[in-house]
Amino acid sequence: MILSIICLTILMLTVCSVTAVVGQSAAEEINYDEGKVPAYTLPDPLVTQNGKKVTDARMWKARRRLGILHLFETQVYGKTPAKAAAMRFHVNEIEPKA
């Protein structure tokens, strides 16, 4: 179980790191050549953002997992918008052949 969590975390960190490097500026040219990719080091999934080592599953769930989810929120997916206030819809016409 812990091994699968670690593997998934490494995969997520890879996506975050690559996204951070590639998505720095919309004006930058898209790179299709792996030889042009700058060097980067993936963060250790068992070390918190403040440098403290993860020692057990409880610490993983309480601290490190949240840090990784924050990276995904800021670097990959973004925040989910708040629920829209009382949206209403009205059908103006129905086209049966559409």
pLDDT tens string 42-68: 888 899 888 999 999 999 998 899 888
| Beta-bridge mates of residue 53 | 47
| 27 inside domain | no
* Residue numbers of the domain that contains 68: 53-80
Q: How many domains does the chain have?
A: 1
pTM for the model stands at 0.43
HSE-up (13 A, CA, CB side) for residue 44: 9
pLDDT tens string 82-97: 887 888 889 999 999 9
| 18 inside domain | no
pLDDT tens string 13-22: 666 555 555 4
| 17 inside domain | no
| 1 inside domain | no
| 67 inside domain | yes
Separation CA 43–CA 13 (nearest Å): 7
| 11 inside domain | no
Separation CA 98–CA 81 (nearest Å): 32
Burial 10-28 (b: 16+ CB within 10 A, else e): eebbeebbebeeeeeeeee
| 71 inside domain | yes
Q: What is the pLDDT of residue 15?
A: 62
Mean pLDDT, to the nearest integer, of 8-29?
61
| 32 inside domain | no
